[in-house]
Amino acid sequence: MRRVPIRELPSPSNRLCGVDEAGRGPLAGAVFAAAVVLDPARPIRGLADSKTLAEATRVKLAGRIREKAVAWAVACASVEEIDTLNILQATLLAMRRAIEALGVEPEEVCVDGLHVPAVAFPCRAIVDGDARVRAISAASILAKTARDAEMREMDARYPAYGFANHKGYGTPEHMAALRVHGPCEIHRRSFEPVQALMQYDLPW
């Protein structure tokens, strides 16, 4: 798997908070977000966009981030919030919760993508930020590993769907299980592939 080196953007902030999400696209499960303020005096080698890293590497780096960062927090928005608000607004809600849970006030918040949450700090959105800003890379790793752990727990609760394998994404395995069993409690009913199978909905 090819790792893209981070090209750090200049920032006037000495307390820059990186923010990223995990789980916007899946058909099931909460959407997660993480916020990280790195410590320049305690650098972490190997940070990169979480999508470019092997799972074992992500897990190892997540431990280093939690150990060495000035502050970090992970938050989520529930399936019910996704279905009520829509996935974009639920993602921004999860981001705001993560930032507000940091315990420190960032001087600047840099968010991967095109949108920023409503928080009381200067924010900027950075396209491909998880490959350009180390704090965002760190946030992407924490969000991804936290969501993956959650989906493994959901796999134990709903073993018919294979959540540990596909993490809720619309893989052929997942779609086949949906056709056989219908949606379960953690499926996003506002997402079209799930809506199309609602006639097979199971009692909770």
Domain for residue 49, yes or no?
yes
Clarify whether residues 129 and 176 are in a common domain. no
pTM of the full structure = 0.90
Domain for residue 10, yes or no?
no
Burial class (CB in 10 A: 0-12, 13-18, 19+), 63: exposed
- Taking only the tens place, the pLDDT of each residue in 136-154 is 999 999 999 999 999 999 9
- Which residue range is the domain that position 184 belongs to? 158-200
Clarify whether residues 39 and 79 are in a common domain. yes
Clarify whether residues 103 and 185 are in a common domain. no
Cα–Cα dist 140/22, whole Å: 7
Q: Mean pLDDT across the stretch 57-64?
A: 98
Clarify whether residues 138 and 189 are in a common domain. no
Q: What is the DSSP string of 58-124?
A: HHHHHHHHHHH-SEEEEEEE-HHHHHHH-HHHHHHHHHHHHHHTSSS--SEEEEESS-----SS-EE
Domain for residue 3, yes or no?
no
Domain for residue 7, yes or no?
no
Clarify whether residues 143 and 49 are in a common domain. yes
Domain for residue 62, yes or no?
yes
- Taking only the tens place, the pLDDT of each residue in 97-114 is 999 999 999 999 999 999
Residue-level pLDDT at 138:
98
- Taking only the tens place, the pLDDT of each residue in 143-185 is 999 999 999 999 999 999 999 999 999 999 999 999 999 999 9
Residue-level pLDDT at 82:
98
Count of domains forming the chain: 2
**Single residue among 141, 156, 171 that ends a domain in this structure:** 156
Clarify whether residues 51 and 135 are in a common domain. yes
Instruction: Name the pLDDT band for 196 (thresholds 50, 70, 90).
Output: confident
